Amino acid sequence: MSVPTLVSLAVIVPVGFYGKFYRGPGAHWVNDSLDGAFYVAFWCLVVFLLRPRWRPRCIAAGVLAATCLLEFLQLWHPPFLEWARSYFIGAAILGDTFAWSDFPYYFLGAGLGWLWLALLESHRRRYDRVQ
Contact 108, 35 (CB under 8 A): no
Q: Give this prediction's pTM.
A: 0.87
pLDDT at 100 over 90: yes
Q: Where are the domains of the chain?
A: 3-68+102-130
- Comparing CA positions, the residue from 79, 20, 16, 84 lying closest to residue 46 is 16
Other beta carbons within 10 Å of 19: 20
Residue 49, classified by CB atoms within 10 Å of its CB into exposed (0-12), middle (13-18) or buried (19+), is middle
Q: Can you tell me the distance from the alpha carbon of 84 to that of 94, in angstroms, rounded to the nearest whole number?
A: 8
pLDDT at 13 over 90: yes
pLDDT classification of 12: cutoffs 50, 70, 90: very high
Q: What is the pLDDT of residues 19-64, one digit of tens each?
A: 888 899 988 898 888 989 999 999 999 999 999 999 999 999 999 9
pLDDT classification of 65: cutoffs 50, 70, 90: very high
| Distances from the Cα of 100 to the Cα of 96, 104, 124, angstroms | 13, 8, 37
Residue type, 77: H
Q: Can you tell me the distance from the alpha carbon of 86 to that of 55, in angstroms, rounded to the nearest whole number?
A: 35
Q: What is the pLDDT of residues 116-131, one digit of tens each?
A: 999 999 988 887 776 6
